[in-house]
Amino acid sequence: MSSVSIRVAFNATPLLAPLSGIGNYIVQVGRAHARQGDVDAYSFYRYRWRHEFPEPSGELGVSGTTFARRVKQALPFRGLLRGVPKLGFSLGLKRQRIQVYHEQNYVPLAYDVPVVMTIHDLSWIRYPEMHPIDRVRWLERGLPKAIARASSILVDSNFVRAEVISSFGVAPERVHTAYLGVSADFRPRTAEETGRTLRGLDLVHGSYLLTLGTIEPRKNIAHVLQAYAGLSASIRKRFPLVVAGAQGWGASALVTRLHHLVERGEIRFLGHVSGVKLPDLYAGATLFVFPSLYEGFGLPPLEAMASGVPVIASDRASLPEVMGTAGILLDTASPELTTAQMAALLEDPTRRAEVAKRGLARASEFTWEACAAVARNAYLRAL
């Protein structure tokens, strides 16, 4: 435990919605800080502060969403609400005597104290057509100014670091890679351990392929569907394809296609899977496939590897950096090659075991404590 405790503010507003990748990052980094005892945390949930590390907001009593609805009903001019979160946040920084503010969702709310910011990826620049236009405009408007004023910038991978430096002309010494970690919840499990969860999902341990991620264009789920359709009927019967993930932006056509495939009995579509069930879902899979077009880090493949499951993942963006030589890289332009890669693993248990073993070793190199340590060093530099 460090003898120096820094008073840090965190914007926990993303935790008012179902937990996303950024939400998971906020929670896990906070918990790592709590274990290390080096940060005095204050968290802001859209309209209220709490003296705690960021956590999903189910225990906040009146949730931020409900609170916002009540305020809207009380005000004749709803436009007045737009500045309420920023004002409440700015006042809280002074009231709580915050020393450093760490914004983990790109654009900071206020700049009254030194700011450390995390940029998870630049997909909105590389693939703007795969994001809502209002989100792209929000980032175009707010991110350059935030980057210019930030004391330190954290990124999830060296790939993103290079992109931030080249895209925004940032001095390299201001940008620091803080690799994400893997929760201890993700580990190899026996059929007995996963049984209760998998029975509830009508799945059998070791007898399904899994792909997981927000259902949106960038995740490239269509690639897996096409590759899986190329497998022999006997393999598809033994190993059904399971698709899991909450519906994201621009996904209506893909979700409709998924439901049609479910009706024809060709795949299983689970939608959003709760965090409690997720480790069992990973650990029970025979193979995990992740064909995303762009990731700033790509946590699902790492979680699958930590669960003892062989992984086939995209050869794009940060994924080769994260996977190393532990997994198999797929070509997003060649679903036929992915079909062959899947078939080779599914038909060779010895090969699957070798890839899974390499994955376990690779996943053990990534910890949330290491990620939090990079953040704490950024806080000290900011001071």
Question: What are the φ/ψ torsions at residue 99 (nearest 5 degrees)?
Answer: -95, -40
| pLDDT at residue 78, as a whole number | 44
d(CA 49, CA 42): 7
- pLDDT per position as a tens digit, 116-133: 999 999 999 999 998 889
* C-alpha span between 142 and 165 (Å, rounded): 17
The pLDDT, as a whole number, for residue 272 is 87
Q: Are strands 100-103 and 49-50 parallel, antiparallel or unpaired?
A: unpaired
Residue 12 has pLDDT above 90, yes or no: yes
pLDDT band at 352 (very low <50, low <70, confident <90, very high): very high
Please give the average per-residue pLDDT across 219-232, as a whole number: 94
> Which pLDDT score, from 0 to 100, does residue 45 have?
95
2 has pLDDT over 80: no
Residue 17: pLDDT band with limits 50, 70, 90: confident
pLDDT at 34 over 80: yes
pLDDT band for 307, please (50, 70, 90 cuts). very high
Q: State the pLDDT confidence band at 299, using cuts at 50, 70 and 90.
A: very high
Q: What is this structure's pTM?
A: 0.88
Tell whether the model's pLDDT for residue 56 goes beyond 70.
Answer: yes
Q: Which residue has the higher pLDDT, 83 or 315?
A: 315
Give per-residue pLDDT as tens, 149-183. 999 999 999 999 999 999 999 999 999 999 999 99
Percent of the chain whose pLDDT exceeds 90: 76
pLDDT of residue 112: 85
All domains in the chain, ordered by first residue: 6-181+367-382 (3.40.50.2000), 191-363 (3.40.50.2000)
Q: Where are the beta strands (DSSP E) in 218-343?
A: 241-244, 267-271, 287-290, 311-314, 328-330
- pLDDT one-digit tens code per residue, 70-102: 444 444 444 444 566 888 899 999 999 999 999
Q: Are strands 39-44 and 49-50 parallel, antiparallel or unpaired?
A: antiparallel
pLDDT tier at 277 (50, 70, 90 boundaries)?
very high
Among 358, 355, 233, residue whose Cα is nearest residue 287: 355
Q: How confident is the model at residue 376 (pLDDT cuts 50, 70, 90)?
A: very high
Q: Is the pLDDT of residue 257 over 70?
A: yes
pLDDT at site 82: 53
Check pLDDT > 70 for residue 59: no
User: Own/partner pairs for 340-343, CB < 8 Å, 24+ apart?
Assistant: 341/312, 342/209, 342/227, 342/228, 342/231, 342/287, 342/289, 342/312, 343/231, 343/232, 343/235
pLDDT in the model for residue 266: 86
